[in-house]
Structure 1
Amino acid sequence: MFHRSFCQAGSDVRGFTGIKRCRSCTTESCPGLYAIRKSNMSKPLKIGLVGTGSIAHAHLPAFKQFPGRVQITAVCDIRQQAADRFAELAGTDVVFTDFERMLKEADIDAVDICTVHNQHRHQVIAAAEAGKHILLEKPMGITLDECREMLKATDAAGITYMIAQCLRYLPNSQWVRQRIIEGEFGDIWALRSDNFASMVPPKSKIDTDKSTGPGIWYLDGKQAGGGALISQSTHHIDLFRYYIGDISRVTATSWTDHPFFINGAEESIAATMEFENGAVAQVLSSWASRTPWNHHYWLLGELGSVTSRLMPGSSPAEQYIGPLDVSLPRFDDDKSSRAFVPLDIADTDLPTHLPFVNEILHFADCCQSGAEPLSSGTDNLGTMKAVLGIYESAKTGQPVSLADI
């Protein structure tokens, strides 16, 4: 089922890195997934951040905790007051409301793009043409044509292009992936992703003749590229690919008749993903179900399983990066055979237990070394093919082979 990737030197690997080798291997093709690179940057990477919404605030601790490695030297937002407020938090007085002007005038090596989804293509291409390294918040784009255009531009520019798929940078995720590679879970046969939230009132409670909806960008298919799936479930879809490999075929059904969702954005969707190794995943995502915030996944193997812990009352971000419970023979004892136990990663090779911090430091190291990031744009095309293939299947009512799109 799952094909392991081993270093050609047979090394014992223990961390993640974009550098394609592990500690004891000089082979360029070694995946080196568990040998985190020690930074030897002589000066911090200077970054211009664009888009000062909630995800930008999640990125901020990296710059506060590691100023010797990464610094925000410019801030850009189309809202002057929002840009000013974030710049004060970031410790810079260099503020722009025009992205192209920031690229031309600011003292920056790279950009951290935290904007609305339909702005990604233009901003990535502009930054690549300006010779800036790029950290882009997910999703990469809202169409596959956009994603491919961005890859073409970044490849031509020769810059580092990384997608901020934060779940890959959790110590728990790294631990689970390594155990999968070593065969400790046996064959992985199924995964499941649940992402639910009561974002909107029930359709039955809305006067459609009077309501114009809340006007929020992520409920607008033209701005977000979709609804619940592209904004929520992209996280788990990417993590599942990281765990067990690429997806070959998808089938989906969506619900798109809630009046608050416009331009094709779905309020709810159900999908099945078939992986190249024979495993199957279910994806359920909804912003119109009466439920507390719920971001949760399962991984099921013949020898072990993983479930992310339900955390009622916690924030969405806390749930995405929350604790895991694991069932494996190594944790069995006479009293609790096959029981779930909390996965407690007390010691980690990663810089912190915060994925946003880890991913930004990894980005900085890759910019300095020229190594391919763990969540590169090239790799992320596979995630976007799955997400956008699910939308195509929901639209046509037919299975979609990802090799054909």
Structure 2
Amino acid sequence: MAIIKIGLIGCGGITAPHVKGYLRIPEQAKVTAVSDVVAANAEKRAQEVGGAEIYSDYNEMLAKADIDAVDICLPHHLHKDAIVAAANAKKHILCEKPLCLTVQEAEAVQQAVSANGVTLMCAHNQLTMPPVAKVKQMINEGVFGKVYEIRTTDSFFNSFDPKNIGWRGNRSMIGGGELIDTGYHPTYLLLYLASSEPVEVTAMLSKHRLEFMDGEDSAQVLVRFADGAVGNIVTSWAYVPAAITEKFSIVAEKGNAYSYGSDLFYKLQGGEPKKIELSGVDTFAEEIKDFVTCLQEGRRPVNTEAEGINVLKVILGAYKSVEEKRTISLSDLV
């Protein structure tokens, strides 16, 4: 099977775990080109991968480099243009979250990917967590019956201050606040476990501690799904959550399940509580391997632009819900 040649678009901090992932599968992939407007960043990544062509402009890299796919690790507001340019250059795409920032950008992404017949995978690394994969399997097999409610969380004490927050402190660049950044993880996790289209969103945003931010530092979001299930997202940069706070939980017709991010706990009606012990993984490395394997096998990624757009719409719906103080129908988003 041919080795997939990768071009990095953006060589900042988030690129480090991506590079580590590629280095773990040298028989499947190799980073052959890197691009960044900051020369030192590009040079650092090129050195880490054992040598790669260096570009200051990703458009030049797309035109000249010998690559099959790109890995986009740019600030949020730059994602759409990079995706469209890569798709038009017939390169497959792995893009860090969020997919983009507006419904209009999402439509442009969808059109470019479809028109050029390329594969786009959203970099939703938490889907590779073993408890997530296991509970998803059990849901699909009907172990729990109809799912009633799902809760996902991702909160921690973030040490951001005005001196180190960078572009994330600017609403126009990040696309909002914490919800569209770290909060993106529990949002895509919620939609993955729901297995139904999100249709309505109600939200409350807070600025508990990081007052200098343009956007929120915390969010709680309720999501109604087409099959009647209800989801709850809790996410924050403001605090360390209580020790009992689960990573995800589901309550369903035949029982319930939850995880703190490692083992999976579940209980069926009339049965005893059970624990499935699971080994930890490097979620970024697993994500990278899955992307490359999808390209080699011609397989559809778990989360393509279609799933990425649904995640984005939930977040945009949450922002609109707060702005208009009402429940938002996602079909009305424009």
TM-score (norm 1): 0.75
- 1:223 equivalent in alignment to 2:143: no
CA distance in 2, matches of 1:175, 1:387: 26
CA distance in 2, matches of 1:198, 1:280: 27
Partner of 2:15: 56
Gaps of 5+ in 1: 1-40, 202-210, 310-321, 347-351
Partner of 2:34: 75
* Cα distance, 1:104 vs structure 2: 1.6
Partner of 1:328: 267
What letter matches 2:175 in structure 1? G
Secondary structure at 1:277 match in 2: coil
Give CA-to-partner distance per residue, 1:204-246, whole Å, 9 cap, x none: xxxxxxx966552222211111111111122122122222222
Partner of 2:233: 283
What letter matches 1:276 in structure 2? A
- Correspondence list, 1:2-401, <5 A: 41=1, 43-199=2-158, 214-244=164-194, 245-255=196-206, 259-262=211-214, 265-289=215-239, 296-309=247-260, 322-329=261-268, 337-338=272-273, 341=275, 343-345=276-278, 353-401=281-329
Give CA-to-partner distance per residue, 1:18-55, whole Å, 9 cap, x none: xxxxxxxxxxxxxxxxxxxxxxx2x2100001222332
Partner of 1:22: none
* Cα distance, 1:254 vs structure 2: 1.6
| Runs of 4+ residues over 6 Å off in structure 1 | 292-295
* Cα distance, 1:157 vs structure 2: 1.2
Q: Is the contact made by 2:124 and 2:185 (CA closer than 8 Å) also made in structure 1?
A: yes
Bigger mean CA deviation after superposition, 125-134 or 161-170: 161-170
What letter matches 1:404 in structure 2? D
CA distance in 2, matches of 1:281, 1:55: 28
Q: Is the contact made by 1:51 and 1:77 (CA closer than 8 Å) also made in structure 2?
A: yes
CA distance in 1, matches of 2:227, 2:127: 20
Secondary structure at 1:232 match in 2: coil
Secondary structure at 1:54 match in 2: coil
Name the structure with the higher strand share: 2
Q: Is the contact made by 2:5 and 2:67 (CA closer than 8 Å) also made in structure 1?
A: yes
Secondary structure at 1:328 match in 2: strand
- 1:402 equivalent in alignment to 2:330: yes
Q: Is the contact made by 1:51 and 1:113 (CA closer than 8 Å) also made in structure 2?
A: yes
- Amino-acid identity (%): 31
Distance 1:398 1:101, change over 3 A: same
What letter matches 1:272 in structure 2? L
CA distance in 2, matches of 1:277, 1:330: 22
What letter matches 1:168 in structure 2? L
Q: Is the contact made by 1:214 and 1:260 (CA closer than 8 Å) also made in structure 2?
A: no
CA distance in 2, matches of 1:168, 1:55: 17
* Cα distance, 1:93 vs structure 2: 3.5
CA distance in 2, matches of 1:47, 1:81: 19
Secondary structure at 2:26 match in 1: coil
Q: Is the contact made by 1:196 and 1:292 (CA closer than 8 Å) also made in structure 2?
A: no
TM-score (norm 2): 0.90
Aligned residue pair count: 330
Distance 1:219 1:298, change over 3 A: farther
Q: CA RMSD in A?
A: 2.6
* Cα distance, 1:59 vs structure 2: 1.5
CA distance in 2, matches of 1:171, 1:289: 26
